[in-house]
Amino acid sequence: DQQVKQNSPSLSVQEGRISILNCDYTNSMFDYFLWYKKYPAEGPTFLISISSIKDKNEDGRFTVFLNKSAKHLSLHIVPSQPGDSAVYFCAASDFNKFYFGSGTKLNVKP
Amino acid sequence: EAGVAQSPRYKIIEKRQSVAFWCNPISGHATLYWYQQILGQGPKLLIQFQNNGVVDDSQLPKDRFSAERLKGVDSTLKIQPAKLEDSAVYLCASRRTGGSTDTQYFGPGTRLTVL
């Protein structure tokens, strides 16, 4: 049973435009959500997080939106840069345990 | 601050052989996780430690996998005997406490290939 889903395996965006990565979850008990970025041959790197009591969190070019009623979160990258090309994982936590989506490979074209 | 360290980075073994992975978490992080990431999938939790005690090992195939965290710091994950389907990246992560908004930080992973 996959509690966190990323339905788009890949996304291609032109440099300077917005990248929107989506994630859906099924467990209403999740109270903390995170996005990780992963380059080849490296471990996932923490990017941004949001608590379930908020609906938006911003950090520079990265913004995460949470829609609890739809059980949906999204990551917006504006403007996208070629260095953002990586696999992005969303994760959800119910206190101690983390559940990961299968990842979306973002390609930002120069 | 030093990150999560893992070794080896790569390992190739034949099926039915044994293998062990090592992890050193970020200093002061009480919680340690081992994940298995199969190509094209997200990380799947194998085992979680809080200090040197096991919090969750419900998805650890205990007939062949074992893990320990002596003295609540370093941890080792062992597979004995390995199967072809164990080919994956094994990720170690650590977290300061078990608090719900504490972020977990990952090591670089060990890529295991079982032939």
**pLDDT of B49-107, one tens digit each?**
998 899 999 999 999 999 999 888 999 999 999 999 999 999 999 998 766 667 889 99
Residue B101 to residue A46, Cβ atoms within 8 A: no
Residue B99, pLDDT score: 64
Q: Which residue has the higher pLDDT, A90 or B98?
A: A90
Q: What is the mean pLDDT of residues B5-19?
A: 97
Look at A2-6, A21-25, B20-24, B102-106 and tell me which has the smallest mean pLDDT.
B102-106
Closest C-alpha to A64, from A51, A49, A53: A49
**Bridge partners (DSSP) listed for residue A48:** A35
Is the pLDDT at A95 greater than 90? The verdict is no
Q: Which residue has the higher pLDDT, B1 or A101?
A: A101
Residue A84 — very low, low, confident or very high, per pLDDT cuts 50/70/90? very high
Contacts of A49 in chain B (CB under 8 A): 101, 103
The share of chain A scoring above pLDDT 90, in percent, equals: 89
Q: Which residues fall within 8 angstroms of residue A90, CB to CB, at 6 or more apart?
A: A4, A6, A21, A23, A33, A34, A35, A36, A73, A75, A100, A101
Residue B2 — very low, low, confident or very high, per pLDDT cuts 50/70/90? confident
Q: Which residue has the higher pLDDT, A95 or A63?
A: A63
Q: Which residues fall within 8 angstroms of residue B38, CB to CB, at 6 or more apart?
A: B44, B87, B88
Is the pLDDT at A65 greater than 70? The verdict is yes
Residue A49 to residue B41, Cβ atoms within 8 A: no
d(CA B6, CA B90): 9
Contacts of B56 in chain A (CB under 8 A): 96-97
Q: Does A41 touch chain B (CB under 8 A)?
A: yes
In this complex, which of A49, A95, A103 lies closest to B103 when CB atoms are compared? A49
Q: In the 8-state DSSP scheme, what is residue A94?
A: E
3 state SS of B7: strand
d(CA B105, CA A86): 17
Residue A55, pLDDT score: 95
Residue A2, pLDDT score: 80
- Closest residue in B to A94 (Cα) is B100
For the record, the structure tokens of A12 come out as 């291609």
d(CA A60, CA A58): 6
Phi, psi of A102 (to 5 degrees): -85, -5
Put simply, the chain A residues between 91 and 110 with a CB less than 8 A from any chain B CB are: 91, 93-98, 100-103
Residue B20, pLDDT score: 97
d(CA B20, CA B11): 9
The β-bridge relationship of strands B5-7 and B19-24 is antiparallel
Is the pLDDT at A1 greater than 70? The verdict is no
Contacts of A45 in chain B (CB under 8 A): 106
Beta-strand ranges (E) seen in chain B are 5-7, 10-13, 19-24, 31-37, 44-50, 53-56, 65-68, 75-79, 88-95, 104-106, 110-114
Q: What is the mean pLDDT of residues A2-18?
A: 95
